Structure 1
Amino acid sequence: MSNISRKRHIAKTFTWRAVGTLDTVLISWIITGNPLTGMKIGLFEVVTKMVLYYLHERLWLRIRLVESQKRHILKTLSWRAIGTLDTIILSWIITGNPLTGLKIGSVEVITKMILYYLHERTWYNINYGLGSRRSKEERT
């Protein structure tokens, strides 16, 4: 595993976290009715999710599944399971209410899967951090 792929995964980690945090803050704010609670949940997730996301990227680098939409869908599902569990636990701890944690996590399952899939497809078409790249026709 080259240093180049690590740079790519770090870049993907930061871009995804920006998208994911904004989504979490907005959902948490809407569900709790409190913008400060939304910000707290979002800020705690910045740390936990960046670590989890980076580890998820490194694990998927080892999985030898042909680059395709199927790979992106499987990656989306595996990441969402990890991410939702993290959101539920953090939301429960911050609000003190397990039902609020479940509500926030339930909404995020839908919004985050859509956003993550779009993020993966976007990064699949970006060459940053790749030593060599197959042609676009070979990737689709």
Structure 2
Amino acid sequence: MLGKSQKRHIAKAITWRLVGTIDTILISWFITGNPWTGLKIGLAEVLTKMILYYFHERVWFKINLTKAGIIRESRVRHIAKTITWRGVGTLDTMLLGWLITGNPLSGLKIGMSELLTKMVLYYLHERVWYRLNYGLKN
């Protein structure tokens, strides 16, 4: 049986992946000029990103930043999570873009283009989930 925090992390992984996939599809389509390539890259990411995101959430759930003077639910924590997740996510996007297009430069362009859009979207996603009580201990 899954714990409350695990259910929360699974739900967050699903909602983030929906937002992230749409962003990836649109950026990949724009860069390659091919909607099917954008769709392939976006759909390939669904599985890899959900797995990576789940483990990223589990690691961050266990990190105790209160000892360092950073409150667990603070904006600073959300910004730090945004940066670490974007690093993992960008590497995954670049590799998938390269594998699917056969062109490492296309993978690099897609990954770099997502840096700004995904960081903004991820931060907003974190702020929405911060306001939700789903999966938290009462």
Does residue 86 of structure 2 align to residue 83 of structure 1?
no
After superposing on structure 2, the runs of 4+ consecutive aligned residues of structure 1 that deviate more than 6 Å are none
Q: Which residue of 2 aligns with 1:100?
A: 106
CA distance in 1, matches of 2:136, 2:62: 16
When the two chains are superposed, the root-mean-square deviation of aligned CA atoms in Å is 0.8
3-state SS of 1:60 partner: helix
TM-score after normalising by structure 1: 0.92
Aligned residues: 131
Hey, what's the Cα distance between the residues in 2 that align with 1:109 and 1:124?
22
Which residue does 1:3 correspond to in 2? Answer: 3
Residue from 130, 133, 137 that aligns with 2:136: 130
Tell me the residue number matched to 1:111. 117
In the alignment, the residues of structure 1 paired with residue 132 and residue 105 of structure 2 have an alpha-carbon distance, to the nearest angstrom, of 39
- Residue correspondence of structure 1 range 22-37 to structure 2 within 5 A: 22-37=22-37
What is the 5 A alignment of 1:18-97?
18-65=18-65, 66=71, 67-97=73-103
C-alpha distance in 1 between matches for 2:131 and 2:105: 39
Structure-2 separation of matches of 1:128 and 1:58: 16
- 1:135: which partner in 2? none
Q: Distance in 1 between matches of 2:121 and 2:27?
A: 14
Aligned twin of 2:14: 14
How far the C-alpha of 1:46 sits from its partner, in A, is 0.1
For structure 1, the 5+ residue unaligned runs are: 133-140
Residues 109-131 of structure 1 deviation map (CA, whole Å, 9 limit, x = unaligned)? 00000000000000000011111
> Per-residue CA shift, 1:94-114, capped at 9, x if unaligned?
000010001000110000000
Superposition TM-score, scaled by structure 2 size: 0.93
CA offset digits 1:79-103 (Å, max 9, x no partner): 0000000000000000000100010
In the alignment, the residues of structure 1 paired with residue 136 and residue 98 of structure 2 have an alpha-carbon distance, to the nearest angstrom, of 39
How far apart, CA to CA, are the structure 2 residues paired with 1:71 and 1:40? 33
Q: Percent identity?
A: 67
